[in-house]
């Protein structure tokens, strides 16, 4: 009669994302082999612990199933652990030794079914440590090879993950193409959005036009953050056919739909543009009621700090500012600021293009150096003149990347634009200001003190 105690075993399986791509390793194959081995040896399987998409080089703190397994070991539920090979168990020497201490303290050991390792002897432990060192180095080399392959694919415009094919695109042979089943929806999404600059209104419109084809709102809102729609894939421009331009993409990022306490369909000209002078957050629009002595009630569209409105401990700024006040200020200041900015940019271009002036300053420096070398000028005079000429030269040569007013802004503000602006309704005035400026500033005395045009880097 066999009175040998039946062993309780835990099956541990692991595969990293990289290994699945490279070698086609699967959790299912490991589970099948280990289960068959356990049944063949009459082991009782306590549980299966599977870490998928996790590298063995990562800290054991990132391997949730391994931690669950060790917790069960500490609770006395496991007598032995079965793994297919050593590299499924560990490739990190430090974490292996930490785990061994836990197993030894609870008289639990591990076994590989495709390799012969004995962790119960000193020689066996030495062999294991040597193999772990080899596996650790090989893991690092494999990771480097995979990263090199992925970098090359990205450089030639190939996608390295199906997740990159966002809504409106499909991946075919490693490249993105517009998806015929959803491309009309995406075209309409951007076209309608640029007409109202409001995601929720755009979403409602798409539901009416396309019904169930429209993704959930949470997914829909994230589409506006995807640079893929400009044709840029994984940082590589012109990798696929675009839906919008880079300028349109930058404009979308500069515009934010802020929550307000106003009526649902009330359009605020400067929603998401005015910055709180205390906390820096956007002011939100609301309707301010003012009751006169004769009983008449007047409604004024105004702005106040959302943080202060929500919780005064978040922001101490309790100011409000009327929309009419902001609009009057902007209509007065935009033409003046635009002219000044354009003149400064033209002056900068003249400095950069004046190569004759640059050559002249370089010649002055050469002559100055020769005079100093021949002892014709003092050291103090040389330092003074050198610094002065060098400063002028640096100014003339300052032609690196810089920001300028976006071209679509200068086009919009050309001609008699104020007359055209006066003919717009409230919703389109809101679109106008979000297209032209990125923020409007208020100082600590609650006075309007400036604004920033939407810009582009040249």
* Cβ-based neighbour number of residue 425 at 10 Å: 8
Under a CB-based contact definition with an 8 Å cutoff, are residues 456 and 407 in contact? yes
Bridging pattern class, strands 44-52 and 320-322: unpaired
Residue 236's nearest CA partner among 244, 245, 227 is: 227
d(CA 72, CA 195) in angstroms, rounded, equals 59
Bridging pattern class, strands 109-112 and 80-83: parallel
Under a CB-based contact definition with an 8 Å cutoff, are residues 386 and 378 in contact? no
State the first-to-last Cα distance of the chain, in angstroms, to the nearest integer.
87
Q: Which two tokens stand for residue 72?
A: 């069960």
Under a CB-based contact definition with an 8 Å cutoff, are residues 48 and 107 in contact? no
d(CA 196, CA 283) in angstroms, rounded, equals 20
Angle at 240 between CA 206 and CA 232, to 5 degrees: 85
Under a CB-based contact definition with an 8 Å cutoff, are residues 82 and 34 in contact? yes
d(CA 135, CA 138) in angstroms, rounded, equals 5
The active-site residue, picked from 16, 55, 271, 438, is 16
Does 380 participate in catalysis according to the annotation? no
Cα→Cα distances 138→5, 27, 132, 171, 268, Å: 40, 21, 10, 32, 60
d(CA 260, CA 301) in angstroms, rounded, equals 12
Sequence-ordered list of residues with C-beta below 8 angstroms from that of 153, at least 6 positions apart, any chain:
159, 160, 174
d(CA 77, CA 28) in angstroms, rounded, equals 24
Under a CB-based contact definition with an 8 Å cutoff, are residues 205 and 218 in contact? no
Cα→Cα distances 263→231, 250, 293, Å: 38, 29, 26
Q: To the nearest 10°, the Cα dihedral for 255, 257, 259, 265?
A: 130
The DSSP letter of residue 279 is T
Under a CB-based contact definition with an 8 Å cutoff, are residues 82 and 166 in contact? no
Q: Which two tokens stand for residue 350?
A: 């003249």
Q: Which residues are catalytic?
A: 16
């Amino acid at each position: 009669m066999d009175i040998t105690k039946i062993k309780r075993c835990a099956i541990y399986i692991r595969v990293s994302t990289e290994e699945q791509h490279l070698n086609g390793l699967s959790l299912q194959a490991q589970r099948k082999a280990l289960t068959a081995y356990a049944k063949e040896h009459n082991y009782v399987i306590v549980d299966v612990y599977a870490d998928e998409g996790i590298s063995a080089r990562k800290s054991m703190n990132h391997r949730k199933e391994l931690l669950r397994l060790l917790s069960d070991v500490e609770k006395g539920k496991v007598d032995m652990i079965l793994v297919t090979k050593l590299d499924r168990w560990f490739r990190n020497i430090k974490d292996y030794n930490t785990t061994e201490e836990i197993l030894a303290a609870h008289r639990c050991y591990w076994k590989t079914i495709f390799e012969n390792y004995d962790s119960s002897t000193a020689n066996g432990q030495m062999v294991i440590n040597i193999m772990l060192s080899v596996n650790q180095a090989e893991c690092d080399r494999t990771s480097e090879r995979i990263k090199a392959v992925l970098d090359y694919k990205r450089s030639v415009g190939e996608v390295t993950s199906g997740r990159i094919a966002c809504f409106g695109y499909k991946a075919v042979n490693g490249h993105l193409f517009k998806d015929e089943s959803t491309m009309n929806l995406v075209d309409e999404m951007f076209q309608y959005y640029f007409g109202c600059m409001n995601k929720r209104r755009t979403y409602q419109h798409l539901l009416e036009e396309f019904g169930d084809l429209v993704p959930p709102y949470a997914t829909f809102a994230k589409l506006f953050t995807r640079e893929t729609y400009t044709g840029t894939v994984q940082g590589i421009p012109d990798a696929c056919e675009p839906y919008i331009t880079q300028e349109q993409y930058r404009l979308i990022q500069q515009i934010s739909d802020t929550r307000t306490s106003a009526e649902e369909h009330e359009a605020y000209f400067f929603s998401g543009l005015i910055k709180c002078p205390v906390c820096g957050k956007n002011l939100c629009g609301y309707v301010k009621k003012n009751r006169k002595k004769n009983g008449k009630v007047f409604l004024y569209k105004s702005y106040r700090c959302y943080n202060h409105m929500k919780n005064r401990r978040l922001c101490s700024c309790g100011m409000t500012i009327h929309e009419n006040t902001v609009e009057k200020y902007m209509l007065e200041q935009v033409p003046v600021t635009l002219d000044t900015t354009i003149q400064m940019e033209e002056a900068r271009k003249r400095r950069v293009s004046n190569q004759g002036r640059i050559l002249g300053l370089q010649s002055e420096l050469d002559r100055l150096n020769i005079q100093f070398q021949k002892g014709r000028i003092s050291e103090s005079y040389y330092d003074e003149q050198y610094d002065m000429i060098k400063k002028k030269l640096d100014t003339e040569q300052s032609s690196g990347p810089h920001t300028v007013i976006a071209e679509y802004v200068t086009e919009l503000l050309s001609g008699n634009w104020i007359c055209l602006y006066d003919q717009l309704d409230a919703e389109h005035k809101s679109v106008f200001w979000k297209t032209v400026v990125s923020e409007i500033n208020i100082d600590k005395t609650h006075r309007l003190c400036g604004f920033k045009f939407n810009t582009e880097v040249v």
